[in-house]
Amino acid sequence: MAPAKGVIHMSNIIHPFEAPAGDGMENDVIEAILTRHSVSPKRVAKPGPTRAQVKTLMATAAAAPDHGKLRPWRFIEFPESSRTALADVFETALRERLPNADSEALSRARDKASRAPLLLGLVLRLNRTADVPHVDDQLASGGAALQNVLLAAHAMGFGARALSGQAVRTQAFRNALKLDDDETFLCFIAIGTPTSAPRRNARPAPESLLSQWTG
Ligand SMILES: Cc1cc2nc3c(=O)[nH]c(=O)nc-3n(C[C@H](O)[C@H](O)[C@H](O)COP(=O)(O)O)c2cc1C
């Protein structure tokens, strides 16, 4: 049976000691990376990932490189039952930032809580005083966990987007999520079934990203 489109098969992962032939472009994993694009939470609907798929998404996050095995990040899920409370938090956060925000702006802020069937939050807990692993390494680990989840969601056929927004830095938001002092809410990850054709951003030319150090 032909493999379902967008589904990565383990047999297509290049294993150690198998010299990859050609330019690798025919590989499913590489194709998934190259075709991944963000999908706005406004352009996704139910169904979201099943519980088993959510578990797989977390397993992909756990596969992120992690210097010193600190796992300097964690995920929070905002289930459907929490969305009204989250809308309240967004409203309070906007009032904190803009005390004169009008009802339209407050309503737009609230709406953000109801978008996307699966809404995750990615929290960094960085040890800024450690020499090893340096905080930059820890930050890169969080970025890799984020990318793994975005990519895995795309490979499963979902649309996903990372979104921070200004609310996440407000005290109201931090308090509501009970973030520790050393924690930063990096972003939400909104995931669902795409409702419109893909909109892909142009990517930089590969050659423009690489230079050679010649001593
Ligand atoms: C941590 C993080 C937070 C982001 N927050 C926002 C945001 O609040 N608003 C926004 O429009 N894009 C945000 N982006 C960018 C989008 O998620 C997306 O990467 C960008 O639009 C490029 O689209 P692409 O992934 O298809 O290349 C964020 C990206 C990252 C990595």
Atom of ligand 1 nearest to the CA of 162: 17
Distance CA 151, CA 32 (A): 7
Number of structural domains (the chain) is: 1
As a 3-state breakdown, the chain gives helix, strand, coil percent values, each rounded to 5, of 45, 15, 40
* In-domain check, residue 30: no
Domain region containing 50: 38-82+116-196
* In-domain check, residue 6: no
* In-domain check, residue 12: no
67 marked ligand binding residue? yes
* In-domain check, residue 28: no
pLDDT value for 25 = 87
Task: Compute, in angstroms, the gap from residue 17 CA to the centroid of ligand 1.
Answer: 36
* In-domain check, residue 212: no
* In-domain check, residue 137: yes
Tell whether the model's pLDDT for residue 22 goes beyond 90: no
The CATH number of whichever domain residue 72 belongs to comes to 3.40.109.10
pLDDT value for 8 = 66
Higher pLDDT, 6 or 97: 97
Verify whether ligand 1 is closer than 6 Å to residue 162 (CB atom): yes
Tell whether the model's pLDDT for residue 2 goes beyond 50: no
Tell whether the model's pLDDT for residue 6 goes beyond 60: no
pLDDT tens, position by position, 105-150: 999 999 999 999 999 999 999 999 888 899 999 999 999 999 999 9
Q: Are the beta carbons of 39 and 131 closer than 8 angstroms?
A: no
Tell whether the model's pLDDT for residue 93 goes beyond 50: yes
Tell whether the model's pLDDT for residue 1 goes beyond 60: no
pLDDT tens, position by position, 46-61: 999 999 999 999 999 9
Angle at 123 between CA 85 and CA 68, to 5 degrees: 160
* In-domain check, residue 142: yes
* In-domain check, residue 162: yes
